[in-house]
Chain A
Amino acid sequence: MNLAIHTQNLGRIYKIRGGKKTEPKELEALRDVDLEIPRGELFGLLGPNGAGKTTLIKILTTLLAPTSGRAWVTGFDVTKDSHKVRARINMVSGGEASGYGLLTVRENLWMFSQFYGIPSKEANRRIKQLMEVVGLGDRLNTKSSDLSTGLRQKMNIVRGFMTNPEVLFLDEPTLGLDVGASRDVRRFIRQWIDEDHFRTLLLTTHYMVEADELCDRVAIINEGRVLACDTPANLKRRLQQDAIFKMEVSPLNGLNVDSFEGLPGVRKAIHVPKDGTAELDLILEKDDALGGVVNMMTSNDVHILNLHKREPTLEDVFVDLVGRSMEEVEAGEE
């Protein structure tokens, strides 16, 4: 099989040194990751902060050695044949400030193109073309220190695409971008993949919508483990049996998530307090479990302001797999 990315029992443990006296602590950032990504796929890694997404990308881009297991990119082992891997890949991280502020956009991109052996003339042609595609055709001669965050990220994206990699890694490509710029970047990513079936792209994100709408397949990752890996549609299909309701209610008057989850048929409740009201997401085994929830509310003087049933999202899939929402996981970390 012609796999662009292949990992087997991949794991990474970081040693964290404390003070001089304390023993170094170990942190397992990745554990037994098995992925098979064929060429032509736009693959997404979805997970909360600290899930291990960047760690996985670093291993696949030869920047970090795994502590167990193996990984191949374009058929080459990332540790033994790192040189061959490097010639065939590129990587862009969200929010990176690479390059030199004193150089213009064109000069910065040209410099990086040279590190991939692209002849100057060809490099300049590609830079010009790609900059126009991302809507920055008139900014070639702007000093890169003068670019806004969004424009800068577009320049970084061009840096990644310009070498025409066989596999491109994007670590949170839309981090910090506004809605419009994010949409541009996503559209460009999709177009790049669709243009050529030899290309493969792996991106990480913690935006559910991004994973859902953009990616061919998504791996949900938490605490270093891949919990599920499938197309967004298949992932959501797991919850097809469930009934998912979104409610807007008055403040909960002492009730909490646990009180609802104690009710029969309620698999999960997520509570988001708002100004003067509250939002409640409920994953129920069946529609009729709603009756118990409503009863409990009315007997505690909680008013229902709005209620509707909705389709499952990847967010719900995450909750189903992890038992907590991504926000809860991230909040629990701090």
Chain B
Amino acid sequence: MKSEQWTVDSNQWAVEKNSGLKFFLQTVIARAYPRIIGQQREKSWMFFDIFLPLLAVSAYVFVYRAIGAPEEYVGFVVMGGAMTAFWMNVLWSMSSQLYWEKEMGNLALYIMAPNSMMAILLGMALGGMVATLLRALAITLLGSWIFDIPYAVVSFGQLFLVFMLAMVALYGMGMLFASLFLLLSREAWHLSNLAQEPVYLFSGFYFPIKSFNFWVAMSASIIPLTLGLDAMRQLVFPSGAALGFLSIPVEMGILSGLCVVFLTAAKLLLAYMEKLAIREGRLTESRR
């Protein structure tokens, strides 16, 4: 009996495993794929994503050297430049992702598929993170070589942990933004425009946030990169610890808290978005 055989073979995977971890990861990886593979196909990224950030970094380096700022600042700037890539990715790509998916008509297909939307969103985040990692590494390597930066890594284990915590918190924030953007659509565009420059300033991309007033620095810490950068600098540069804002364990604690807050908020808002989309019938509409 052909039909019976077909019923079993076609629905076995989807129906039985669609709550399982394996299926969840399968979805995450599939959605990360276009980012990781597809995005490298347009070669122009090398110019826009590596050369331009390096140019900004160079400008700061020349200024710092001209005014005789401590030489550590040069290393700080290179690391800040590299980490900026992640911020840009979250602000411009990750946050508008669901909006674009809606415009292209993918959002309806994602909602209709038997996977969880959270897996789709995580896939987008993972893909963006991996693709950006390439760019950040290139900026770090080139910057360190051009400006001859000295490194003295205290603990690679801690460095990795801090970096991962910062990434999870940052992309958790990006996932939250993605649903927020979809709900606010055009207004959100202006918000990210507004957010870009102040964040450069307050999250200390190009100088240590210790130079701020304590409460200003504390407020800036809501952006996960702020503490991430500060902790990484403490762990990587010879005099980093002296210029650090809080102690590394405290910074890691706060970052972990941010991870939980952002991921939970992202999950809740995503569920709300899906419910609203289905109730109002607007959000899956690409032509309207």
Enumerate chain A interface residues (CB-CB to B < 8 A): 12, 14-15, 55, 58, 61-65, 83-84, 86-91, 93, 96-100, 102-103, 107, 110-112, 114-119, 163-166, 195-198
Q: How many interface contacts (CB-CB < 8 Å) are there between A and B?
A: 119
Q: A107-B33, A117-B26, A198-B4 are in contact. List 19 more A-B contacts (CB 8 A).
A: A64-B278, A64-B284, A87-B18, A88-B14, A88-B15, A91-B109, A99-B106, A102-B38, A102-B41, A111-B33, A112-B113, A114-B27, A115-B113, A115-B115, A117-B14, A117-B18, A117-B23, A118-B14, A166-B10
CA distance A80 to B10 in the complex (A): 23
CA distance A12 to B37 in the complex (A): 42
B113 touches A116 (CB 8 A): yes
B278 touches A107 (CB 8 A): no
CB of B176, distance to nearest CB on chain A (Å): 22
A197 touches B30 (CB 8 A): no
CA distance A89 to B112 in the complex (A): 9
CB of B146, distance to nearest CB on chain A (Å): 31
CA distance A163 to B15 in the complex (A): 12
Q: Which of B14, B39, B105, B112 contacts A62 (CB 8 A)?
A: B112
| B window 256-288: CB within 8 A of A | 277-281, 284
Q: Which of B4, B106, B110 has the most CB of A within 10 A?
A: B106
User: Which A residues lie within 8 Å of B279 (CB)?
Assistant: 65
Q: Which of A83, A117, A164, A165 has the most CB of B within 10 A?
A: A117
CB of B202, distance to nearest CB on chain A (Å): 35
B13 touches A118 (CB 8 A): yes
Closest partner residue, chain A, to B279 (CB atom): A65
* 0/1 interface trace, chain B 22-60, chain A, CB 8 Å (1 if under): 010011011101100111011000000000000000000
B26 touches A114 (CB 8 A): yes
A87 touches B30 (CB 8 A): no
B215 at the interface (CB under 8 A from A): no
B243 at the interface (CB under 8 A from A): no
A91 touches B112 (CB 8 A): yes
CB of A239, distance to nearest CB on chain B (Å): 36
CA distance A91 to B4 in the complex (A): 22
CB of A166, distance to nearest CB on chain B (Å): 7
* 0/1 interface trace, chain B 8-21, chain A, CB 8 Å (1 if under): 01110111011000
A63 touches B111 (CB 8 A): yes
B155 at the interface (CB under 8 A from A): no
CA distance A87 to B34 in the complex (A): 23
CA distance A113 to B170 in the complex (A): 29
| B window 78-120: CB within 8 A of A | 104-106, 108-115, 120
B30 touches A115 (CB 8 A): yes
Q: Which of B7, B29, B104, B111 contacts A166 (CB 8 A)?
A: B7
CA distance A165 to B6 in the complex (A): 10
User: Which A residues lie within 8 Å of B30 (CB)?
Assistant: 110-111, 114-115
CA distance A50 to B269 in the complex (A): 32
A198 touches B6 (CB 8 A): yes
| B window 149-182: CB within 8 A of A | none
B213 at the interface (CB under 8 A from A): no
B109 touches A116 (CB 8 A): no
Closest partner residue, chain A, to B22 (CB atom): A117
CB of A95, distance to nearest CB on chain B (Å): 9
CA distance A84 to B14 in the complex (A): 9
Closest partner residue, chain A, to B106 (CB atom): A98
B13 touches A119 (CB 8 A): yes
B104 touches A64 (CB 8 A): no
CA distance A61 to B284 in the complex (A): 12
Closest partner residue, chain A, to B30 (CB atom): A114
User: Which B residues lie within 8 Å of A96 (CB)?
Assistant: 105
B14 touches A58 (CB 8 A): no
A114 touches B109 (CB 8 A): no
